[in-house]
Structures are given as C-alpha cells and as structure tokens.
Amino acid sequence: MERKNFLKTVAMVAIAPTLFLAACKDDTKKETTAEAKQTFTCPMHPQIVQDKPGACPICAMDLVPFDKNNKEALLTLGESQIALANITTMIVGTGALSNFKQLNGRLATDPEKTAVISSRVAGRIEVLYVKETGVKVSKGQPLYKIYSEQLATLQQEYLLVAAQLRQFPDDARFQQIEKGARQKLALYDQSDAQINQLLQSNKVNPYITYPATISGIVSELTTAEGQYVAEGGAVMRLEGYNQLWVEADVYPAEAAAIRIGQNVSVTVAGWENEPQTMTIQFINPALQSGSQLTQIRGTISNTDSRWQPGQQVTVSLPVKSKGEVISLPVNAVIRDGKGAHVWIAKAPGKFEPRMVHTGMESFDAVEITAGLNTGDNVVVTGAYLLYSEYILKKGADPMAGMAAM
C-alpha cells in the first residue's frame, strides 16, 4: 500500500511541469488573442464601440476599426495627408475685433409729423369732406365746414362797429373798437380777405371751412356730419409718413455701449438690400413696463411712403472689442457638446487639440478669451478634418479627457 502511494507521488511530480507549461501557453495565447482583437466605432458617434463590424445604431454609418490602446493625444499626419486636407496654420497675435449686434425694432409714427385737427369754434359739422380713414390729404385741402352761431354773432358785431367807424372815421375810440372786433374774427381763422369780403357784402356768413394744416393720412375720425362739437373739440387726426420713427429694444447692459448721435444701420423686413443709415436721437432712461428692456430711437426718411408704421426692422449696432484681443477665423474653432477647441501644430506633422473659451464673434472671426497665448501656431483651415481623423484613429472625442475650463 505504501509502495502504491509512493508511485503516485512520483508520477504527479513528473507531470506537474508539463501541466504548468501547458497552462502558461494557453494563457499567453488568450492574452495574445485579446490584444489582437479588433475594435470598431462610428466616425460620427465615438461613444458607439463594439468588437465586430456593423452599422451605427444612431446614424446607420458603417463602423470603422480603431486602436483603442493608443491613448496619445497627438495626431500625426504625413506631408501628403496635410496637403490633401489643405491644413494651414497661423501664429496668433492680438488686435481689435469689430462686430455688429442685431437689435429687434419696429417702425412707428413720428409725432412731429402728426396733427390733430380740432374745431376753433363751437358749432355743428355741416359738411365733412373726408369721411373715412386711410385717405391721403394735402396741406391746404378743405377738410370740413362748420356752422357757428357764435361766428355769426361776431360778424354781425363787426359790421355794426365798421358802420360806426364810417360815420366817425376820426374817432380814436371807434377805431380801437373796430380793431378789437376784427381781431376776434381773426382768432376764428377769418383771413383779411374774408373780413374784407364780409364788409363788401355786408352779409353774415356763419359757415367756416377749415383746411388741412399738414399733408398726411387720415388715421382717425372723431366726428360725423350733423354732429355738434365744442370749441377745441377734435375732428380728425392726420399722420405724415414721409418720416418715421425707428424704435429698437435693448437690454440695459447693451445700452451702456450706445450713445446719442451714434450712426447705426436699419434694415426693414422685405427690403434687406436697401439698408438705411439712422442717427440715434434718444435713449429711454426707464425700462418698459413689465420687461427688462429699454428703447433707443431715431428717424429714417420715407419720402415715397413705401413703409408703414408697425413694420419690423433690424438695427445693426456696431460693437468693438475693448482693447487688444486674440481672435481666430470662425472655421478654426470646432464646437461640440463638450465645448470649443482648436488644433495646435506642436511640430511638423504633429497636431494637438486644445480646449478654448470664446467671446465676441463676428461674421468671419471669433474672440478667444482663454486657452491660447500669443505665439501659438493654430490650424486655421482643415481643423474639422483633423477632428474627424482623430475620431477615426482614436475612437474618441478629442475633448473627452479634458477638464472644463
């Protein structure tokens, strides 16, 4: 029995090295297989990663292979790749950056071109020559005729005074009374010609025809034929549209950069190809009721009356950066959900992504407030191709490992 146990022990000792070597060989094979295993990702959605070819479940693009073990942030390209991608760089410096801030506005009636036609005497509207709103009238055109008993009384009084003055032409008292009676008629818009006509005819005329004091459009009618009006009572409103107000909304912080006398560009909706130059004439010191907005105002010419109050406009307010800033072409900055970044040329053919913060932006340039220094060599064309190439080779977003600034 002891002999059998001895033989078993000897046998186990003999085969143990063989089993150990076999196990090691098998583990090495598994590790080699794991290392050689290919990984695939989507060029547009690097979060999609799998160990076999297929299609992206988000955009249905074919997955491409990438080396997930390569964690180097640098992207290396050959000369032919750089030429094919049209990658160019520039040494950044500082300078002033100009831009235009767009303000929403509207056209409004200019009160200086508005007139309220009121009755100078109490009486009855006998004839209303304009009976509807929207009618264009010219200065001097008759608007309405009113019957006034008070005017008839003043005319009769003047005829009596004039008759007394003819009997006593040298009497200073009668001369003074005649002058006062004539002045009363003048206050009722009776011209010298009408008063002289009254003397010649010696007949009272209680009707007065009132003309338009300005040219414009009838925007409101407050009376009708046969209606009695009091002295000073409104009859109609005329609005002139040959000059219009432009009112634009601004936030208080924006108003600090605006000054009275500043020239801005105004674009009326529908006439984008015909911008108008306007001078800011007024900045409202108070906020509009129920809002956090104030207003700026100016006027534009509208001689052909092609624009009407209420139309929407856009006011382009020139804005300039405060002092010298670093700026880049807009296409040099790549933006995604993690922020904005640019590509720095570290050496010939080697490019590195760098997160930046942006500030003021114009049509073709953007201010860089953080992330760059004067003298950095930044890619200005082909930046998006570098971004795509990085995703293809690394299978990850260039900003994935960077902390927010």
Successive 10-residue mean pLDDT values, the chain, 405 residues: 54 51 47 56 72 85 67 74 86 73 87 86 89 88 88 86 84 85 82 83 84 86 89 88 90 79 89 89 85 88 87 82 78 84 88 86 79 89 84 69 56
Here the tokens at position 339 are 């922020």
Q: Using CA atoms, how far apart are residues 63 and 56, in angstroms rounded to an integer?
A: 6
How confident is the model at residue 337, as a pLDDT?
A: 74
How confident is the model at residue 23, as a pLDDT?
A: 47
Would you say 120 and 136 are in contact if contact means Cβ atoms under 8 Å apart? no
Q: Cβ neighbours of residue 56 under 8 Å, at least 6 residues apart?
A: 42, 44, 45, 48, 62, 63
CATH 2.40.50.100 maps onto the chain at: 116-237
Strands (E), 187-286: 207-211, 216-221, 228-229, 234-239, 243-250, 263-268, 276-279, 282-283
How confident is the model at residue 31, as a pLDDT?
A: 44
How confident is the model at residue 32, as a pLDDT?
A: 42
Separate counts of helices (H) and strands (E) for the chain: 7, 27
pLDDT (tens digit, 9 = 90+) per residue, 183-229?
A: 888 887 777 888 888 888 888 888 888 888 888 889 889 888 889 99
Answer CATH for 116-237 from 3.40.50.410, 3.40.350.10, 2.40.50.100, 1.10.10.60: 2.40.50.100
How confident is the model at residue 68, as a pLDDT?
A: 57
How confident is the model at residue 318, as a pLDDT?
A: 76
Here the tokens at position 314 are 């856009």
CATH 2.40.420.20 maps onto the chain at: 64-97+323-394
Cα torsion through 297, 303, 307, 309, rounded to 10:
50
Distances (CA, A) of 288 to 105, 137, 144, 280, 293: 14, 35, 39, 18, 6
Backbone Cα Rg of the chain: 44
Q: Which CATH class is domain 102-111+241-320?
A: mainly beta
Q: Say whether 15 sits in a helix, a strand or coil.
A: helix
Q: Please, what sign has the CA dihedral across residues 374, 376, 377, 380?
A: negative
pLDDT (tens digit, 9 = 90+) per residue, 160-179?
A: 888 888 888 888 888 888 88
Answer CATH for 64-97+323-394 from 2.40.420.20, 3.20.20.60, 2.60.40.10, 3.20.10.10: 2.40.420.20
How confident is the model at residue 5, as a pLDDT?
A: 56
Here the tokens at position 398 are 């260039």
Would you say 297 and 247 are in contact if contact means Cβ atoms under 8 Å apart? yes
Here the tokens at position 199 are 């003397």
Would you say 121 and 184 are in contact if contact means Cβ atoms under 8 Å apart? no
How confident is the model at residue 2, as a pLDDT?
A: 57
CATH 2.40.30.170 maps onto the chain at: 102-111+241-320
pTM comes to 0.52
Q: Using CA atoms, how far apart are residues 311 and 281, in angstroms rounded to an integer?
A: 20
User: Which one-letter amino acid corresponds to residue 198?
Assistant: L
How confident is the model at residue 300, as a pLDDT?
A: 92
Distances (CA, A) of 32 to 35, 257, 347, 384, 387: 5, 66, 34, 36, 31
Q: Cβ neighbours of residue 323 under 8 Å, at least 6 residues apart?
A: 96
